[in-house]
Chains A and B, each alone.
Chain A
Amino acid sequence: MVRNFLIGLVLASIGFIFFNLYNTYEPKTELNGIAAHYAAKGAEEIGAANIVTAIVVTYRGFDTMGEVTILFLTASIIGFFLKLSKKDEAKKIIHHGTSELLITSAQILVPIIFLFGVYVFMNGHLTPGGGFQGGAIIASGVALLIMANPNRQINHHAILWIESISGVSFVILGLLGIFLAGGFLDNRFLSLGTFGDLFSAGAIPLIYSFIGLKVGAEISNILNKYQKSQKES
């Protein structure tokens, strides 16, 4: 097969490129460049114990806004891509029942999962985690709900409002950075507080909370669309 041979050749060539990369790889022993700056000054400048959060929310906050936008775009696109007709919307999903285990665990676990998600994004500046992680955890709770009962109605309006308001708030917080501090998405227009406290690191807990809510809503929205698309057949 010419095709298989070609693919083999391609993979070998990619391997060759990687081999060259590997050969020239010299493990780092020192932080250099911007990493050194973040490590040395990050805590002082931003006030967040979690340097990664300082980078994600403030130093490279603009990227983060882009990430949020990507999720938002995906949800919007899937929204009109998988839109159901009125007739399909009214249908029920036919399924062969879900396991008792799943239903029970959903009842018990979902509130805890939501709570855990909120904890993760509110403490993003102190501990591992943050808005995206917390949002994803919340959405996993929604996923569990859907799996336990495929016909479960997810409150679409609630999702929409949460998504919209947290998104707009994120942008407004970013703009406040221009007016009250050094630039777009600067977190320092609120006091940096005591290092290591929940309410510290300026606006980071606030921003990350909105991101968390938005991400959670966004992913839930996508899951909801996938769920409903099963009605169509």
Chain B
Amino acid sequence: MEYLQLGRISLIISFLLIIIGFWGILSQKNIIKIIVSFTILDTGINVLIVSLGYLKGRTAPIIDASVSQGPNHNVLNAIVDPVPQALVLTAIVIGFGVTALLLAYAMKLFKAKRTLEINQFNDLKW
């Protein structure tokens, strides 16, 4: 089945994850659940990044035995795109930082009003 190769499957999965993330962000009232939805969204994007770097039938971008090292070796034809893998690392770290900060905020918010309902925090408006 040409349509069900790995690249496409992971692309669909990543889109689904992102949509689930958005759904949680928009519909959940509990701040912790919203933060979890954010991590789902982040995960979806990370999967998206990696799947866009995928090339069919190739190996990880590490030049070792699995990449043939003969005189005519051609790394170009052996490995998947290394750039998205580098980018996803950055994206993960950023996601970690943001999540950590959001959780700290959630603690403070809870301490302020003893609730985690997001619609309780609308002191600033209009």
Contacts and interface: CB of A to CB of B under 8 A. Distances in A.
Do the two chains belong together in a single complex? yes
A67 to B, nearest CB: 4
B83 A38 contact: yes
A22 B101 contact: no
A225 B103 CA distance: 12
A137 to B, nearest CB: 14
Size category of the A interface is 35 or more
B61 A82 contact: no
Contacts of B101: 74, 77-78
Contacts of B61: 38-39, 50-52
A82 B55 contact: no
B55 A29 contact: yes
Interface stretch (A9-17, A98-106, A145-153): A9-17
Interface string B72-88: 00011001011101100
A56 B23 CA distance: 33
Contact of A127 (B62, B81, B96, B97): B62
Given A31-B81, A35-B81, A82-B104, A7 B26 contact: yes
Interface in A44-73: 49-52, 55-56, 59-60, 63-64, 66-67, 70-71, 73
Given A27-B5, A81-B104, A55 B83 contact: yes
Interface string B54-69: 1110001111100000
B93 interface: yes
A229 interface: yes
A161 interface: no
Given A67-B93, A71-B93, A25 B75 contact: no
B contacts with A: majority SS: helix
B27 A52 contact: no
Contacts, number: 134
Contacts of B104: 77-78, 81-82, 225-226, 229
Interface of A: 4, 7, 10-11, 14-15, 18, 21-22, 25, 27-31, 34-36, 38-40, 42-43, 49-52, 55-56, 59-60, 63-64, 66-67, 70-71, 73-74, 77-78, 81-82, 126-128, 130, 132, 196, 219, 222, 225-226, 229, 232
27 contacts: A7-B27, A10-B22, A18-B19, A21-B15, A25-B8, A27-B55, A30-B55, A30-B76, A31-B79, A34-B83, A35-B82, A39-B76, A40-B75, A51-B62, A52-B61, A63-B86, A71-B96, A73-B97, A74-B101, A78-B100, A81-B104, A82-B104, A128-B60, A130-B89, A132-B93, A225-B104, A226-B103
Q: Please give me the 6 A-B residue pairs with the lowest Cβ-Cβ distance, nearest first.
A: A55-B86, A51-B61, A74-B97, A51-B82, A18-B15, A70-B97
